[in-house]
Amino acid sequence: MAFYIRDLHQRSTLRLNPAAVVTVLAWNAEGDFVPRAIDLDAFLVALPDGPASRKWTVSGYYWFAVDSGVIEAIEVQDTP
């Protein structure tokens, strides 16, 4: 298992694959959080104010899958 800890005093920029898969936490019919894939554009638009549909939530923690300096996937980190 590998993990990444970010130093807030050091910043860098990575390219984002426009076909990147984004997984967020959404509510199912029972009101439980479940992982759901969403459109990258919907995710990027929702970051500042939250999603317009309110069918999923923006989290403070995400995992980024990076391959050769390009973000290929973004997955929410479920925090209890």
Q: Using one digit for the tens of pLDDT, what is the confidence trace for 33-77?
A: 888 998 888 888 887 777 777 777 777 788 889 999 899 999 988
Using only the alpha carbons of the chain, give its radius of gyration: 14
**3 or 13: which leads in pLDDT:** 13
pTM: 0.73
Work out the number of other CB atoms within 10 angstroms of the CB of residue 76. 22
Per-residue confidence (pLDDT) for residue 22, from 0 to 100: 93
Cα separation, 12 vs 66, whole angstroms: 13
| pLDDT range class, residue 7, cuts 50, 70, 90 | low
